[in-house]
């Protein structure tokens, strides 16, 4: 285990604009978690910018990955990790300073199998608000079926339980986060544990998708949104995720 309590995994595709802020937030949270308890792993995916260089300045372990599959990118980072607790966060998101402490507390309680957190955008508009509501409507049937409120944004789980559920499904090119949440929740139910959401902490995430496509894009292109929500539509995923930037 090399003494690490946490392994923070960050997938990154040409993230030089955001990665420094993301890593600074992790470093700040690590100070409250305790000295030498956190390793940071950045998985540089098809990067042609300074993402890797910036990550190394913050002491992160940098891996290279060329898959056009976010599940495979996340799994690559986890496989190289050595911490007892795995935390995944996107490169354009910032964890708050007590996030790791709260994660440790919730897992140590034994009540939670793992979970996610609330997300806030760095800016808000009517279009973003309505888009968020539309996405939530598409997720409600999944939550009802599993009888749980399944949050994502930043996943946290014991490494052994990450392995037990099989990590992220690499057959999916999108919606891998909700799929992971569903399987983690099922593991918790089988043990009498809950799928948790951090209560005091949250992540601040960029509104860059709305900056790139427009605040009303998901509403105006509902057919594309539905295709993305199948999890397996390569063309739709490429147009909105993998071939952007």
pLDDT, one tens digit per residue, over 150-197 is 999 999 999 999 999 999 999 999 999 999 999 999 999 999 999 999
Residue in 55, 41, 45, 47 with CA at minimum distance from that of residue 4 = 41
Residue in 101, 104, 97 with CA at minimum distance from that of residue 24 = 97
Q: Please determine, for residue 101, whether its predicted confidence score (pLDDT) is greater than 90.
A: yes
* C-alpha pair distances (Å), 138 with each of 178, 187, 224: 11, 23, 13
Model pTM above 0.85 = yes
Quick one: pLDDT band at residue 245, thresholds 50, 70, 90? low
* C-alpha pair distances (Å), 121 with each of 14, 154, 202: 20, 14, 11
First to last CA, the chain: 36
pLDDT at residue 216, as a whole number: 97
Beta-strand relationship, 112-121 and 194-205: parallel
Strands of 38-45's sheet, edge to edge?
A: 61-65, 38-45, 6-12, 85-89, 154-158, 112-121, 194-205, 93-95
DSSP state, 243? T
The pLDDT tens digits for 219-243 are 999 999 999 999 999 999 999 999 8
So where are the chain's domains?
A: 6-120+151-202
What beta strand segments (E) does 6-56 contain? 6-12, 38-45
| Collapsed DSSP state (helix, strand, coil) of residue 150 | coil
**Domain 6-120+151-202 in CATH 2.60.40.1180:** no
């Amino acid at each position: 285990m090399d003494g690490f309590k946490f392994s923070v995994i960050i997938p990154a595709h040409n993230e030089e604009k955001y990665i420094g802020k993301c890593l600074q937030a992790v470093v700040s949270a690590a100070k409250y978690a305790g000295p030498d308890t956190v390793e940071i792993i950045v998985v540089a995916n098809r990067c042609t910018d300074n993402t890797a260089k910036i990550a190394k300045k913050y002491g992160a372990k940098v891996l290279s990955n060329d898959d056009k599959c976010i599940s495979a990118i996340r799994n690559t980072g986890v496989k190289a990790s050595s911490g007892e607790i795995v935390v995944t966060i996107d490169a354009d998101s910032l964890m708050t300073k007590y996030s790791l402490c709260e994660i440790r507390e919730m897992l140590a309680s034994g009540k939670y199998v793992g979970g996610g957190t609330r997300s806030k955008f760095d800016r808000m508009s009517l279009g973003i608000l309505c888009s968020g509501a539309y996405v939530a409507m598409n997720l409600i049937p999944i939550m009802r079926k599993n009888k749980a409120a399944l949050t994502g944004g930043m996943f946290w789980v014991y490494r052994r339980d990450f392995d037990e559920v099989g990590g992220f499904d690499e057959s999916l090119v999108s919606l891998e986060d909700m799929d992971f949440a569903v399987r983690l929740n099922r593991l918790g139910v089988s043990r009498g544990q809950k799928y948790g959401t951090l209560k005091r902490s949250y992540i601040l995430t960029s509104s860059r998708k709305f900056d790139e496509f427009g605040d009303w894009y998901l509403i105006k292109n509902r057919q594309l949104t539905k295709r993305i929500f199948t999890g397996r539509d390569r063309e739709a995923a490429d147009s909105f995720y993998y071939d952007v930037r």
